[in-house]
Chain A
Amino acid sequence: MIMTILYYILTGFIAFLIIWNLLKSKKWQEEILYIIILMPFLLRLFRLK
């Protein structure tokens, strides 16, 4: 159980890093890619998948 919670924290932390990089990015291809890779992190965090 503790391990699972730690994994959600890790997922949240990485999602935060991806969003941060997305905000800083100035290249359109990079922005799309950040959004694509963000999706699984957010849906896991929201406990939807």
Chain B
Amino acid sequence: MSVHGLHIRKCSFVILGAILMAFAGTSFYNSRHLREPVVLSPGVTQVKKLSDYFPGIKGTINDSNIYILEGTEPGGTILILGGSHPEEPASRLTTWILAENAAVEQGRLLVVPSANRSATTVTRLGGAYPPDFTIPTPWGGQKFRMGDRWSNPLDQWPDPEVYIHYPSRQELAYVDIRNLNRTWPGRANGTLTEKTCYAMTQLIQKENVDIVIDLHEAELQYPVISTIVAHQKGEDLAALVSMMISGSEGFDIGMEYSPKALHGLSHREIGDHTQAISLLLEAPEPFLDATRGRTDRALLLEGKDEFVLRAGKHGLLFEKMDEDGWPIDIRVGRHCSTIIYILELWSEENPEKAVVARKIPRYAEVKEKGVGFFLRDPTKEDPKNVYFE
């Protein structure tokens, strides 16, 4: 081939590569910078930042918003974390419903929709996740970022060859140094993810939080599913909630003890290192199953999958799976009802520390009307009542 021909060939390859990179780069940029509006519920009395509790997180992507809903009567304080693992969307959507709808009469509710905001800006390598998903609403639809289990390497790089948890020194897989639910109770001079947990530990202590509820979803092949994982301080409460829900709400939820040997998780470390009771809620998400088929938005939101169904027929799942799948409305509804029961039963047992909230939809209502029904149109609101995640 002539030198001229060689150059033309090389240039053509470079142009094709550049086009591919430009399309992909634009998609990565857009999903990292997608703004997700939160229309404040009239019940929100204050919006704080995580850096108000630990300045070391200021100016970072993880300086998350904390929506505070305060009642007129004094009582207890409950913190609800969404987005510890942003690849589990029911957790973030539940916090949206709370921040946009709930009203508190007694005590305080603290809501964090993006506990690990960095992890909401990236999708899993090899996971083929969609970059975002849209929840249909009466006024159109609201788009959310699809996230990952781990913080974005753009915010925390490099990883060590093995992650040694602080303070237990337990050895964990290297990637888990970016897993917010493996870095509790956090470290002031640690990595971004460790600092985020440290900031939240500070928040829990300074705001004298009584209960932390960490919202999650899990693959059906994972034994810890459709359950409340409770630190020993909260085992009675969790057992009672599980019993009451299973009899009256139209779904079952179990209860498990937080293993003492497994470190870095919220249900273990928050209970061990702060005054708060820590509970972790798991809902079923077939999208996360290793045997899942075609990976797309429909699977994420409808939770229907032929291969996961087949795994169920072979007895490989720890939750039922049928043709109806696990739609997002059902997963979010489960979280909402479980939170309602935790608040009610805690308040009954601890009247001086009660947290009484209204306008949180129950399971049946979310299932019937859909998650989108409870999302509010940001264009119809006073901009000062609209925050962005």
- List A residues at the B interface (Cβ < 8 Å): 3-4, 7, 22-23, 25-26, 28, 31-32, 35-36, 38-39, 42-44, 46-49
B13 A48 Cβ-Cβ under 8 A:
no
- List B residues at the A interface (Cβ < 8 Å): 6, 9-10, 13-14, 16-17, 20-21, 24-25, 28-29, 32, 122, 153-154, 157-158
Q: 8 closest A-B pairs (Cβ-Cβ)? A: A35-B17, A48-B25, A49-B28, A48-B28, A31-B13, A39-B21, A4-B157, A7-B158
The residue in chain A whose Cβ has the minimal distance to the Cβ of B3 is A26
A47 B154 Cβ-Cβ under 8 A:
yes
Q: A48-B29, A49-B25 are in contact. List 18 more A-B contacts (CB 8 A).
A: A22-B10, A23-B10, A25-B10, A28-B13, A31-B9, A31-B13, A32-B13, A35-B17, A36-B17, A39-B20, A39-B24, A42-B21, A43-B21, A44-B153, A47-B154, A48-B28, A48-B32, A49-B24
Q: Could you name 18 residue pairs across A and B whose Cβ atoms are closer than 8 Å? A: A3-B158, A4-B157, A22-B14, A28-B13, A31-B9, A35-B14, A39-B21, A43-B21, A43-B25, A44-B153, A44-B154, A47-B154, A48-B28, A48-B29, A48-B32, A49-B25, A49-B122, A49-B154
**Complex alpha-carbon distance, A23 and B6, angstroms:** 10
**Complex alpha-carbon distance, A24 and B66, angstroms:** 54
The residue in chain B whose Cβ has the minimal distance to the Cβ of A43 is B25
Cβ–Cβ < 8 Å partners of B9 in chain A: 28, 31
The residue in chain B whose Cβ has the minimal distance to the Cβ of A46 is B25
Cβ–Cβ < 8 Å partners of B25 in chain A: 43, 46, 48-49
- Of residues B10, B28, B32, which shows the largest number of chain A Cβ atoms within 10 Å of its Cβ? B10
Q: Which of A4, A43, A47 contacts B158 (CB 8 A)?
A: A4
Q: Min CB distance, B293 to chain A, in Å?
A: 26
**Complex alpha-carbon distance, A44 and B13, angstroms:** 21
The residue in chain A whose Cβ has the minimal distance to the Cβ of B9 is A28
**Complex alpha-carbon distance, A36 and B17, angstroms:** 7
**Complex alpha-carbon distance, A46 and B24, angstroms:** 12
B28 A43 Cβ-Cβ under 8 A:
yes
B28 A38 Cβ-Cβ under 8 A:
no
Cβ–Cβ < 8 Å partners of A31 in chain B: 9-10, 13
A39 B17 Cβ-Cβ under 8 A:
yes
**Complex alpha-carbon distance, A35 and B29, angstroms:** 21
**Complex alpha-carbon distance, A40 and B83, angstroms:** 27
A38 B24 Cβ-Cβ under 8 A:
no
Cβ–Cβ < 8 Å partners of B154 in chain A: 44, 47, 49
The residue in chain B whose Cβ has the minimal distance to the Cβ of A38 is B17
The residue in chain B whose Cβ has the minimal distance to the Cβ of A10 is B158
**Complex alpha-carbon distance, A48 and B10, angstroms:** 25
**Complex alpha-carbon distance, A28 and B29, angstroms:** 31
Q: Min CB distance, A21 to chain B, in Å?
A: 12
**Complex alpha-carbon distance, A39 and B24, angstroms:** 10
Cβ–Cβ < 8 Å partners of A7 in chain B: 157-158
Q: Min CB distance, B195 to chain A, in Å?
A: 12
The residue in chain B whose Cβ has the minimal distance to the Cβ of A35 is B17
The residue in chain B whose Cβ has the minimal distance to the Cβ of A28 is B9
**Complex alpha-carbon distance, A10 and B305, angstroms:** 43
The residue in chain A whose Cβ has the minimal distance to the Cβ of B15 is A35
**Complex alpha-carbon distance, A30 and B20, angstroms:** 18
Q: Min CB distance, B172 to chain A, in Å?
A: 20
